[in-house]
Amino acid sequence: MTNHEIKIAFEEYTSLKELNTTDQNLCLEAVNAMANSHSPYSKFRVGAALQLKSGKIIHGSNQENVAYPSGLCAERVALFHWGATYPNDPIESIAITAHTDGFELLKPVTPCGSCLQVLAEYERKQDKPIRVILYCIDGLTWITSGIENFLPFLFFEDRLT
């Protein structure tokens, strides 16, 4: 038997002002994206913003449905829009934020497993890691350099591609 250990890494910031201006701006774009959240069921608004290499920014917000499973997370709304419209303009970073009137959010919202799997797919497609910026408006901000920090045992099979 052999024991293995995997380490993940992330940066933690207590104030948005500590981030570089591009990242600060992307966090504010994620806040703007929340304005179009359609979340009458959970009342949990999520916004995502993608920073593309060209400088373009893509927005996404969670879109819920009365048939609950038909809704989609903010991250995948933004990512699928990118995949359908700007697939040759690499994604450098994604910023994600959330707000609810129901309770206070003091730590960042992390992407669900399905969104991580989609992020991982597009990292492979563009052959470049996607930085993930998790911005909590009234709390901490966490930054990771790529999806492997969330999913070290990510499913991938080269022979399926």
Q: Of the candidates 109, 120, 130, 132, which one interacts with ligand THU according to CB under 6 A?
A: 109
Q: Which stretch binds ligand THU (CB under 6 A): 17-25, 28-36, 111-119, 148-156?
A: 111-119
Q: Which of 29, 75, 92, 123 is catalytic?
A: 75
**Minimum distance from CB of 100 to ligand THU (Å)?**
9
Task: Report the distance separating Cα 70 and Cα 63, nearest Å.
Answer: 9
According to the binding rule CB under 6 A, does residue 75 interact with ligand THU?
A: yes
Burial class (CB in 10 A: 0-12, 13-18, 19+), 36: middle
Q: Of the candidates 26, 33, 49, 111, which one interacts with ligand THU according to CB under 6 A?
A: 111
Cβ proximity to ligand THU, 55 vs 102, nearer residue: 102
Do 23 and 31 contact (CB within 8 A), yes or no?
Answer: no
Contacts of 132 by beta carbon, 8 Å cutoff, 6+ apart: 93, 94, 96, 111, 119, 143, 144, 146, 147, 149, 150
Q: Of the candidates 42, 117, 145, 149, which one interacts with ligand THU according to CB under 6 A?
A: 42
Task: Report the distance separating Cα 38 and Cα 71, nearest Å.
Answer: 9
Strands 91-100, 44-52: pairing kind = antiparallel
Active-site residue list:
75
Q: List residues binding ligand THU (CB under 6 A).
A: 39, 42, 44, 46, 62, 64, 71, 73-75, 109, 111-112, 115
